[in-house]
Structure 1
Amino acid sequence: MTRILGRRAADDPDAPTGHLGAYRARDGSPGARVRIDLDRPHAGLVVGKRGYGKSYTLGVLAEELARVEGAVPVVADPMGVFESLAEVGATVVSRPRVSAAALGPRAWCDLLGLAPESPVGALVWQAADARDSLAAMREFVAAADTRAERATRRAAENHLALADSWGGFEPDGLTADDLLGESAVVVDLSGLDAAPANAVLRGLAGGLYDRCVRGSPDRLPWLLVDEVHAFFDGVAAPALRTALTRGRQPGVSFVGATQRPSALPGVAVSQADLLLAHRLTSRADLGALADARPTYVASSLDERLPDAPGEVLLVDDATESVHAVRIRERETPHGGGSSRASEIG
């Protein structure tokens, strides 16, 4: 018998699902097959210590989503480990850029560390509100009327020149429509520093949400973000929070993977209707999960977590149940393993 997790009994039994793995039998043998609902939008969180399979699990989910006609996985890849998904038809964007207009005035102030009410922040806000490219924003600032102090203009120009040097912006950058085509998309952020990587992800996550709010696209997006703690700590955080807390109604699914759940805002854990927990040992990380999970799992969470790589404790809020699962083998090579000195030469 195959179990479908994330799905209520009243849901359509023929709706799309993905093969996640199999139950972990007590004697170590594989039990019944486990599938996961891919029909309805979900908010998910994959956690675990380094080396225990969280990125691997995210890759399995992306492989399954790539087969669903009405869905499209968009993988934000800060470590450059998901390129092999091209073998199942994914498009890999190795130099991702977004337009300056994808961020909006508030995001520009956040990105540059400027208070919107400060003279420099106010000028950058005006430029972002009036222009739709970074070059045009710089021209706007340079041509600001004489009421703007020269020092204010110079400071704003310097901030925008710094942003330009990051290489994360171009007028014809990625849009939501580019991501919602017929194939999965891997957005390789590994070549960008933290600030531009956050800017690109904020633009893309916000764009996907806005596109779905305007009307259902041909394919519903699943935004999969590896090392998600690095983005909840940056300028991408507001867009990710929106996708997490409000995305399901218009059709945006969000799944983040992290080895540091204690570094996430509490809402990132409490809003997840699917929690896939690999091995964790940090008291802070275990506490963060326990504090935000329902009573039917929180009290014994640390005692029930698996010990071996590839095994997860899956908490399914749809059925208010907990399952011990071994994740299936990837169909595409996994690029998340550590290099070894013995492999050189």
Structure 2
Amino acid sequence: MHVVGRQTRESTAKGEAPPTGRLGRYLARDDSTGAPVGIDLDHPHAGLVVGKRGAGKSHTLGVLAEAAARARGVAPVVVDPIGAFGGLTADAGGGRNGDGTEPVPARVVERPTIRADAIPATDWPELVGLDPESGPGALVWDAASSAPTLSGMLQQVESLEAPREHQRAARNHLGRARDWDVFDQDGLTASELFGPEATVLSLAGADDAATSAVVAAVARLLYDARTGDEGDRPPRLPWLFVDEAHVAVDGVAGAALRTLLTRGRTPGVSLLLATQRPSALPAVAASQADLLVAHRLTSGADIDALAAASPTYLTGTLRERLPSGQGEALIVDDATESTHSVRIRERHTPHGGHTPRASGLTASPPDAGRETDRCVGPNEDV
């Protein structure tokens, strides 16, 4: 099996094969599949999974999360803004494809919370939608510098000397953040994220700013845990999976994610971003990614954004190499400076990102005698 992200055949100190995930199979030009393709889970990686809506990017992220959850020495954390990954906790003994796959060790954290001081004071004005150089923004900045909790910030705003209108504006914007219900003094800790199971952070329905705040806090927790004193470092390497990544990078999580992209390799922190809008990501995301999994794209801006960072070893243009079928992917592997056309394997656990269809719903029949729309056959009169 060819393993993307790994330069040579390697083994562990005990002579075992290093952690590897099953990704799919090679795809031939006639759409037939060939030898299996795996992904390296032994080394840290920065990766992008891209594709237009419905092309399979969330499915692929789920496949990668399944593999990481089963790997030795890996601590996967999945940011789930659309409810696509709750199925990771389903008992998949026997596997959906009948291959005897082991269950995926995973847990779902519904409505995850973070400590307010997990967000730097300098980022609080932006988080609540204020200009840091404005009166209310400066007030929020000062309050966040002095108080470790959101309730403490609100009290601090009242006690600081400032015009009443500035206090009122700052209080209103902090009140909006309180309504997100993501800030708690007993919020997520690093030890929870480095547990024996994959952690799925369910943020379906959360405000975009709240999602970005959680991603920022989690990214910093993972990075700080791996850069602390050597004796205190967790014995597992974290992999952070972020679906709909364009939402997170557009807010306060942008700086924390850039840190993982540019400096995560040394402490062993991996980051995989999935998006249908690669043009909305900062240029550093494409330039720093050593793994690219590209599904079908049709937006010129998105294709151009990826093409700008295309390596010289990519034969032909990126536009020419992009796949057209659902579940098909072009993999650009910078570790081996190679490209591969692959069909991504089926999920072993249920995928929650399928688009609902009217034909798949059970509904009561229409009232008798009422005229209804129906599909007209090719030989029927309208």
Q: TM-score band, normalised by the shorter chain?
A: over 0.9
Give 1:298 shift: 7.2
The answer for the alignment partner of 1:193 in structure 2 is: 207
Partner residue of 1:120 out of 136, 143, 149: 136
Distance in 2 (alpha carbons) for counterparts of 1:78 and 1:121: 28
**Which consecutive residues of structure 1, in runs of 5 or more, have no partner in the other structure?**
none
Are the equivalent residues in 2 in contact too, given 1:314–1:325 (CA < 8 A)?
yes
Q: CA contact under 8 A between 1:290 and 1:298: conserved in structure 2? A: no
Q: What is the TM-score of this pair, normalised by structure 1? A: 0.95
Aligned twin of 1:155: 169
Output the amino acid matched with 1:3.
H
Which of 81, 92, 95 aligns to 2:84? It is 81
**Structure 2 residue matching 1:106: 3-state secondary structure:** helix
How far apart, CA to CA, are the structure 2 residues paired with 1:338 and 1:172? 36
Matches within 5 A, 1:143-222: 143-144=159-160, 147-214=161-228, 215=230, 216-222=233-239
Q: Provide the rounded CA distance (Å) in 2 between the counterparts of 1:148 and 1:232.
A: 32
1:270 paired residue number:
287
Structure 2 residue aligned with 1:44, among 38, 44, 47?
47
3-state DSSP class of the match of 1:31? strand
- The one-letter code matched in structure 2 to 1:9 is T
Aligned residue number for residue 3 of structure 2 = 4
- Summarize the Cα distance change of 1:22–1:108 in structure 2 as closer, same or farther, 3 Å threshold: same
Residue 25, structure 1, aligned to residue 39, structure 2: no
Higher mean C-alpha displacement, 272-281 vs 229-238: 229-238
Q: Distance in 1 between matches of 2:316 and 2:270?
A: 28
Give the total of aligned pairs: 342
Contact 1:168 1:192 in 2 (8 A): no
The gaps in structure 2 that reach 5 residues or longer are 91-103, 363-382
Give 1:255-266 correspondences, 5 Å limit: 255-266=272-283
More helix as a share of residues? 1
Counterparts of 2:324 and 2:361, CA distance in 1: 30
Q: Calculate the aligned-residue CA RMSD, in Å.
A: 1.5
Match of 1:135 among 140, 151, 157: 151
User: In 1, Cα distance between the equivalents of 2:44 and 2:347?
Assistant: 23
1:253 Cα offset (Å): 0.4
Give a deviation string over 1:171-218, Cα, whole Å, max 9, x none. Answer: 111122211111001111113111111111111112211221114312
Identity %: 57
Please tell me whether Structure 1 or Structure 2 has the larger radius of gyration of its CA atoms. Answer: 2
| Runs of at least 4 residues off by over 6 Å | none
**Separation (CA, whole Å) in 2 of partners of 1:103 and 1:11:** 40
* Counterpart for residue 18 of structure 2: 15
- Does 292-301 or 69-78 show the bigger shift? 292-301
> Matches of 1:299 and 1:125 in 2, distance apart?
50
SS of the residue 2:350 aligns to: coil
